[in-house]
DNA sequence: ACGTTAACTGCACTCAGTGCATATTTGCAA
DNA sequence: TTGCAAATATGCACTGAGTGCAGTTAACGT
């Protein structure tokens, strides 16, 4: 990794950290891009060569999770069905994600509720990820799923889990309870996958 | 309905029509709110007392569909289960919606693909509608569903249908084929509801 | 060391959206 | 009909996001 790349990564990180601190102190709307750029010691104009918009600061590694899910699909065992793979992908994504701890993650959860632009962006990211996963899933099980079937299955799975978590998200307190979260996810996946489950890998 | 209300409705309609025409002629980004307001013969500032943002022009009756779905839930027969009700709601919403014809609907479909802000708003509207439906569903079947279960079921249902349609949306041509659309929806609901279906009302 | 290429930055600009203060219109009752 | 209160319409000034451009600076490969 060249010096150029390292420097760029460092600046990017500085931007995320500056934004996190400023968001915490002043709030989302009250923090301008100029503020964030200044705190990270770059020109305002330069900000836009790191992030295309303000919302994006809250999703700095949105593709890492997609990659993890795609890997989970690739690592499937010989007797796993599509549902088993989706469950494993969900588990892997849930594990190595700092989704419930960390300052940025806390802000993200809060702003997804409060700031329409952020919620919109989060939904877009999720939808895109879902499509990507569905495409890989169809490719991994060509004899069991076609494009539409894979999309429907993935959509049902992601939709169920997301909607269940949304209920918990409605009042924040319950999200602090990992057991409640796990239970909700468990029930959602049951709802979505009941007819598909082979029980493998559980 | 008072004169005031009629006038207001007429202006609102004029805005939607002006926007439709201008979007068709010049494109979304190229059309400014000032243009639209001028074409509808109101002041630029006044636009924002009719629509809170430019995107909203593309979804002028987003709540009508939610109301239709909620009505479908209310009109349930004595032996219908949650899945049957969801299917009926989907059919009703699909029927009285001009989703596939009409100039505005065509623009909407196009811009959902092309303009991030529009896609984001569409997803938000869908998510909100989904939550509303889930709440009514839980209330309608208190002994079979709680909050989380209703959310998961509705999420799976909506997620499956949306994702399946998304595949067709990817290339526009197939959306013009009503049979393909119906088939995709059918398969998606099968995927999502297989374990729930009682067969009533079909 | 040196030319090439990528990144940084200031400047000027457009446009969405908001707050405020003022005029106009409508609804309603006397 | 008149007159008053509430809802609407509108102009103005402003903030902030985001873009295009042109000039500078810094890193890379040779």
For A133-185, the three-class secondary structure string (H helix, E strand, C coil) is HHHHHHHHCCCCCCHHHHHHHHHHHHHHHHHHHHHHHHCHHHHHCHHHHHHHH
Question: What pLDDT was estimated at residue B123?
Answer: 97
Average pLDDT of every residue of chain B: 90
* Chain A CB contacts of B168 below 8 Å: 148
A8-32 tens-digit pLDDT: 999 999 999 999 999 999 999 999 9
Percent of chain B with pLDDT over 70: 91
pTM value is: 0.92
B62-74 tens-digit pLDDT: 899 999 999 999 9
Spans in chain B with pLDDT lower than 50: 201-202
Task: Check if A156 contacts B (Cβ < 8 Å).
Answer: yes
Angstrom distance, B49 CA to C19 C1': 14
Angstrom distance, A5 CA to C3 C1': 21
Question: What pLDDT was estimated at residue A198?
Answer: 56
The nearest alpha carbon in chain A to B161 belongs to: A152
Question: What pLDDT was estimated at residue B196?
Answer: 63
Task: Check if B90 contacts A (Cβ < 8 Å).
Answer: no
Question: What pLDDT was estimated at residue B1?
Answer: 80
Q: Cα–Cα distance between A62 and B162 in angstroms, integer?
A: 22
CB B85 within 8 A of CB B140: yes
Closest CA to A106 of A22, A175, A181: A175
Q: Cα–Cα distance between B118 and B38 in angstroms, integer?
A: 22
pLDDT, tens digit only, all 202 positions of chain A? 888 999 999 999 999 999 999 999 999 999 999 999 999 999 999 999 999 999 999 999 999 999 999 999 999 999 999 999 999 999 988 876 666 668 999 999 999 999 999 999 999 999 999 999 999 999 999 999 999 999 999 999 999 999 999 998 887 667 667 788 888 888 899 888 876 655 554 4
* Chain B CB contacts of A187 below 8 Å: 148-149, 152
Q: Is the dihedral of CA A176, A178, A180, A185 positive or negative?
A: positive
The nucleotide closest to A40 (CA, C1' atoms): C8
Q: Cα–Cα distance between A142 and A136 in angstroms, integer?
A: 10
């Amino acid at each position: 990794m060249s010096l150029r790349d390292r420097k760029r990564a460092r600046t990017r990180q500085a931007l995320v950290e500056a934004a996190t601190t400023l968001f915490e102190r002043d709030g989302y709307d009250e923090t301008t891009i100029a503020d964030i750029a200044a705190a990270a010691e770059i020109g305002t104009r330069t900000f836009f060569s790191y992030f295309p918009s303000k919302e994006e600061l809250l999703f700095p590694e949105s593709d890492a999770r997609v990659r993890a899910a795609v890997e989970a699909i690739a690592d499937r065992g010989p007797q796993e069905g599509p549902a088993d793979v989706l469950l494993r992908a969900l588990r892997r994504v849930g594990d190595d994600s700092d989704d419930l701890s960390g300052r940025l993650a806390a802000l993200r959860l809060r702003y997804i509720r409060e700031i329409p632009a952020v919620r919109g962006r989060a939904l877009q990211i999720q939808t895109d990820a879902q499509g990507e996963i569905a495409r890989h899933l169809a490719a991994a099980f060509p004899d069991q799923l076609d494009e539409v079937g894979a999309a429907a299955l993935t959509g049902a799975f992601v939709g169920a889990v997301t909607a269940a978590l949304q209920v918990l998200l409605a009042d924040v307190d319950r999200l602090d309870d990992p057991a409640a979260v796990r239970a909700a996810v468990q029930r959602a996946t049951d709802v979505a996958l009941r007819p598909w489950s082979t029980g493998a890998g559980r």
